[in-house]
Amino acid sequence: MRIGDIELKKPLALAPMENVSDPPFRRICKDYGADILYTEFANCEAVVRDVKRTLRKFEIDDAERPIGIQIYGNKPDSMERAAALAEEAKPDFIDLNAGCWVRKIAMRGDGAGLLRNLPRFEAVVKAVVRGTRLPVTAKTRLGWDEDTINILDVARMVEQCGVQMLAVHCRTRVQGYKGEADWSWLEKVKAVISIPLIGNGDVRSPEDVRRMFDTGCDGVMIGRAAIQNAWIFARAKHYLATGEHLPEPTLSERVELCLRHLRAAAEYKGERRAVLEHRKHYATYLKGEPNIAKLRAGLMQFETIEPIEERLRRFAVRSSAPTDTPAP
Ligand SMILES: Cc1cc2nc3c(=O)[nH]c(=O)nc-3n(C[C@H](O)[C@H](O)[C@H](O)COP(=O)(O)O)c2cc1C
């Protein structure tokens, strides 16, 4: 499949995730095999008003390519301008968010709110395409609710307006994350467009990746499962190529990745902030390990990296030690 000049074969994309897919996390997923990256979403009004915290989301590194900057909003003028400003950061494409379900965003007509107002959606797509010479892509949901699923109209519309790749999270806005993503829509969407289609929603294992490709979509996007396990990209690629599974990462490997992530985050945003924000990641990196409540409670007390490293490594060694070794 192609996005502009970029040729990709069965790509795996890391989903855009606010407060998660920052540069340190993106880099880890890239190293583990993610082929397409996106920034966290940036509000077009904040971009236009030059809000520093939002513009920081535009920071990208050459090692991350191909990467798209994602913007959202419902005012065509602001979206056009935000696309032009995003282009200055030299991403490979600009992505339009038409899928965010969060109440305060969707209810004011941004994100998935565009699905309730197709004329406005169309005007926004055209504005973004006008605003940049880069390829424009879009990410959306099936529709607002189950009675108004309009993804086929949306898919046709975005292609006609010049969008060059479409990612579909196979749920409605009203579903949020409830229920199961309905992948049966991917085949139907594929049938009405000729631009590449990226499937998204509930991909949690290498088998899921294969099943989603079986629907006919051109790429597979992974969000939450990558937070728990960046290895999913490499493991899925190995499975697609050989039909066999790479071993699951060991506890030591997970601990080391957790620490690498923390150190990279500290370099990016400063040690104290990185340590505080990293607290949400311990549960996911250590998922499935018995008795982590006490460990986590201990880690929450620290505000610097050193004691965290020490405590986590000690936990990994102790938990990996054989328990049935006979006494000497
Ligand atoms: C913490 C979090 C933040 C998210 N932020 C964004 C975002 O900024 N832009 C976006 O298009 N989708 C965002 N999403 C939605 C994901 O990109 C993805 O569509 C969704 O999680 C479904 O995929 P999954 O089942 O693989 O997680 C976010 C999801 C999560 C869990």
DSSP characters over 5-57: TEE-SS-EEEPP-TTTSSHHHHHHHHHTT--BEEEEEEEHHHHHTT-HHHHGG
Nearest-CA residue for ligand 1 atom 2 is 17
Instruction: Work out which ligand 1 atom sits closest to the CA atom of 226.
Output: 26
3-state secondary structure of 222: strand
Give the torsion sign (CA, 84, 90, 93, 98): negative
Residue among 230, 235, 210, 231 nearest 220 (CA): 210
CATH for 2-242, among 2.40.10.500, 3.20.20.70, 3.40.980.10, 3.30.70.360? 3.20.20.70
Which atom of ligand 1 lies at the shortest distance from residue 167's CA?
A: 19
Sequence ranges of the chain with CATH classification 1.10.1200.80: 251-319
Which residues fall within 8 angstroms of residue 182, CB to CB, at 6 or more apart? 142, 170, 171
pLDDT tens digits in sequence order for the chain, 328 residues long: 999 999 999 999 999 999 999 999 999 999 999 999 999 999 999 999 999 999 999 999 999 999 999 999 999 999 999 999 999 999 999 999 999 999 999 999 999 999 999 999 999 999 999 999 999 999 999 999 999 999 999 999 999 999 999 999 999 999 999 999 999 999 999 999 999 999 999 999 999 999 999 999 999 999 999 997 999 999 999 999 999 999 999 999 999 999 999 999 999 999 999 999 999 999 989 988 988 899 999 999 999 999 999 999 999 998 877 654 444 4
280 CA from centroid of ligand 1 (Å):
16
Ligand 1 center–CA 16 separation, angstroms: 6
Which residue, by CA, sits nearest to atom 15 of ligand 1? 17
Ligand 1 binding pocket (C-beta < 6 A) is 15-18, 20, 40-41, 70, 97, 99-100, 139, 169, 200-203, 222-225
CATH superfamily placement of domain 251-319? Putative flavin oxidoreducatase; domain 2 (1.10.1200.80)
| Ramachandran sector of residue 176 (left: φ over 0; alpha: ψ -120 to 50; beta: rest) | left
Cα of 310 vs centre of ligand 1, distance in Å, is: 32
What residue owns the CA closest to ligand 1's atom 22?
201
Which atom of ligand 1 is the closest one to the Cα of 200? 23
Closest C-alpha residue for ligand 1 atom 19: 169
The pTM score is: 0.96
Active site residues: 100
- Range(s) for CATH 3.20.20.70 in the chain? 2-242
How far, in Å, from the CA of 169 to the mean position of ligand 1? 9
Instruction: Tell me the helix, strand and coil percentages in the chain, rounded to 5.
Output: 50, 15, 35
